[in-house]
Structure 1
Amino acid sequence: MKKLYAVLGDPIGQSMSPIMHNDLFSYYQMDAAYHPFQVKSEDLKAAILGLRAIGISGFNVTVPHKSTIIPLLDGVDELAMSIGAVNTVVNEDGRFVGYNTDGLGFLKGLSTYLPSISDRKVLVIGAGGAARAIYFTLAYNKPQVIDIANRTIEKAEELIEACPFEVSSRALALNDANNHLEDYDVIIQTTMIGMSPKVLEQPLMITNLNPHALVCDIIYNPLETKLLKEARQRGATTQNGLDMFVYQGALAFEKWTGITPDVQRMKENVLKQLGGTQNVNR
Structure 2
Amino acid sequence: MIADFQPLGTPQTILAGLVGSGIARSRTPAMHEAEGAANGLRYVYRLFDTDRIGPPRLSIGDIVSSAENCGFSGLNVTYPYKLAVMEHLDHLSENAQAVGAVNTVVFREGKRIGHNTDHWGFAESFRQTLSGATASRTLLVGAGGAGVAVAFALMDNGVEHLSVYDKDPEKAQALVQAVCRQNGAGSASVTDDIETTSRATDGLVNATPVGMDKLPGLPVPHACLRPSMWVADVIYFPMETELLKAARAVGCRVMGGAGMAVYQAVRAFELFTGLSADADRMSSRFAELGE
TM-score (norm 1): 0.83
Kept after mapping to 2: 8 A contact 1:117/1:142: no
**In structure 2, do the counterparts of structure 1 residues 126 and 51 end up closer, same or farther at CA, with 3 Å as the change threshold?**
closer
Query: In terms of mean alpha carbon deviation, does 120-129 or 256-265 score higher?
Result: 256-265
1:199-238 aligned within 5 A:
199=216, 201-207=217-223, 209-238=225-254
After superposition, give the CA deviation of every residue in 1:167-207 in whole Å (9 maximum; x if it has no partner).
Answer: 5222112xx332342422221111122222554x2122344
Q: Choose from 193, 200, 206 the match for 1:183.
A: 200
**SS of aligned partner of 1:170:** strand
**Residues 177, 46 of structure 1: alpha-carbon distance in 2 compared, 3 angstrom cutoff:** closer
Shift of 1:47: 3.7
Taking the aligned partners of 1:209 and 1:65, their CA distance within structure 2 comes to 30
1:250 alignment partner, SS class = helix
Residue number among 107, 121, 126 corresponding to 1:91 in the alignment: 107
- Deviation of 1:8 after TM superposition, in Å, equals 2.6
Alpha-carbon spacing, 1:227–1:94, altered in 2? closer, same or farther (3 Å): same
Cα 1:265–1:212 change in 2 (3 A) is farther
Other-structure match for 2:38? 27
Residue 123 of structure 2 corresponds to residue 112 of structure 1: no
Q: Cα deviations across residues 225-262 of structure 1 (Å, max 9, x unaligned)?
A: 22212222222211111111111111111222233323
Asked if the contact 2:136–2:158 (Cα under 8 Å) also holds between the matched residues in 1, the reply is no
- The number of residues matched between the two structures is 272
Structure 1 residues 185 and 27: alpha-carbon distance in aligned structure 2, compared to 1, 3 A threshold: same
Residues 139 and 165 in structure 1, CA contact (< 8 A), matched pair in contact too = no
CA distance in 2, matches of 1:214, 1:207: 14
Instruction: Evaluate the alpha carbon distance shift between residue 22 and residue 183 of structure 1 in structure 2; reply closer, same or farther with a 3 A threshold.
Output: same
Contact 1:89/1:98 (8 A) holds in 2: yes
Sequence identity (%) = 32
1:5 aligned residue:
16
In the alignment, structure 1 residue 170 sits paired with structure 2 residue 189: yes
Give unpaired runs (5+ residues) of structure 2: 1-9
Structure 1 pair 3–158 and aligned structure 2 pair: CA distance change class (3 A) = closer
Residue 66 (structure 1) aligns with: 82
Q: 2:212 aligns with which of 169, 192, 195?
A: 195
* Higher deviation after alignment, 101-110 or 89-98: 89-98
Shift of 1:117: 7.8
Alignment gaps of 5+ in structure 1: 276-282
* Corresponding residue of 2:280: 264
Aligned to 2:6: none
Kindly report the root-mean-square deviation, in angstroms, between the aligned alpha carbons of the 2 structures.
2.7
- CA-CA distance at 1:11 after TM superposition: 4.5
CA contact (8 A) 1:118 1:141 kept: no
Scaled by the length of structure 2, what TM-score is found?
0.81
Q: Does structure 2 retain, via aligned residues, the 8 Å contact 1:221–1:274?
A: no
Q: CA deviation at 1:56?
A: 2.3
RCO (CA 8 Å, sep 6+): is it higher in 1 or 2?
2
Describe the shift of the 1:81–1:195 C-alpha distance in structure 2 as closer, same or farther (beyond 3 A): same
User: C-alpha deviations, 1:100-136, integer Å up to 9, x for none?
Assistant: 1112211110010345789621111122221122113
- Give the whole-Å Cα distance in 2 for the aligned partners of 1:222 and 1:84: 27
Encode CA deviations 1:33-67: one digit per residue, 9 max, x unaligned. 21223467754444434433343222212234322
Q: Name the CA shift for 1:73/1:238 in 2 (closer, same or farther; >3 Å).
A: same
